[in-house]
């Protein structure tokens, strides 16, 4: 029952943030004022992420125990292959190659989109890196206590929230989704975010609420960055 609840919450986090981001990325056009019902729907949607994260905070110990019991050789191999998807060693070269390909093939939209994605990635990474030592949440593998915090420490054992891996992949997935408006790419990005989030919990590096909160953070920062870059381009 608990795993099913986890999947539902993560799905809602992804759908609510993706839908909001895609809506904001569309160029404004003259239209009637939004109806009260649509405003209520948008307001209700904004509550999905915090409610879901709060629920996961309460379930963190149970979900960790469940994850530890599910370890197997096949899942170990999957985690090993998924882990690099959230690392700068793979992400940065991939963006550099994509940007160069856009320039060489004279695909300006690809080059500009990749550059925007890189800026969103950097912005998210800076905020995530700053929050880790400030929050100081203990990693699950250290003592298994989800309620222990040691703010303003450089000790990596207390850098559980947010997750760098998840922040990286979530920011990129959001940037690509906003700029391409492609359901296929959005679905692929969401799948990669879920896989990386699962890996961090599976490897006992982060609590489930850590990765859920990081998904929301990564998408929020990335979407704000993309909107800012697009507004600057429109002014020029």
Below-70 pLDDT ranges, the chain: 1-45
- For residue 52, the model assigns a pLDDT of 85
- For residue 44, the model assigns a pLDDT of 52
- For residue 45, the model assigns a pLDDT of 61
Q: Is the peptide bond before 95 cis (omega within 30 degrees of 0)?
A: no
Residue 197 to residue 9: CA distance in whole angstroms: 13
Print the SS3 string covering 51-97. HHHHHHHHHHHHHHHHHHHCCCHHHHHHHHHHHHHHCHHHHHHHHHH
- For residue 29, the model assigns a pLDDT of 42
Domain coordinates in residue numbering, the chain: 2-25+34-235
Q: Which two tokens stand for residue 101?
A: 């390909």
**∠ CA 106-107-113, rounded to 5°:** 135
Query: Is the separation of the CB atoms in 20 and 172 below 8 Å?
Result: no
- For residue 233, the model assigns a pLDDT of 84
The tens digit of pLDDT for each residue in 176-200 reads: 999 999 999 999 999 999 999 999 9
């Amino acid at each position: 029952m608990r795993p099913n609840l986890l999947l539902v919450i993560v799905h809602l986090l992804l759908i609510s943030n993706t839908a909001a981001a895609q809506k904001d990325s569309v160029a404004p056009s003259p239209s009637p004022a939004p109806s009260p019902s649509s405003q209520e729907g948008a307001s209700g949607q904004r509550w999905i992420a915090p409610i879901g994260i709060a629920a996961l905070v309460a379930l963190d110990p149970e979900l960790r125990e469940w994850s530890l019991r599910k370890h197997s050789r096949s899942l170990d191999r999957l985690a090993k292959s998924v882990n690099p998807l959230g690392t700068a060693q793979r992400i940065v070269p991939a963006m550099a190659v994509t940007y160069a390909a856009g320039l060489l093939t004279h695909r300006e939209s690809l080059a500009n989109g990749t550059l925007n994605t890189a800026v969103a990635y950097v912005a998210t990474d800076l905020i995530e890196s700053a929050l880790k030592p400030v929050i100081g949440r203990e990693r699950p593998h250290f003592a298994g206590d989800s309620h222990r915090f040691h703010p303003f420490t450089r000790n990596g054992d207390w850098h559980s929230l947010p997750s760098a891996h998840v922040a990286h992949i979530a920011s990129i997935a959001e940037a690509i989704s906003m700029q391409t408006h492609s359901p296929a790419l959005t679905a692929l990005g969401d799948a990669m975010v879920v896989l990386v989030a699962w890996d961090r919990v599976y490897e006992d590096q982060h609590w489930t609420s850590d990765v859920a909160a990081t998904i929301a953070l990564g998408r929020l920062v990335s979407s704000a960055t993309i909107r800012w870059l697009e507004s600057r381009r429109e002014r020029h």
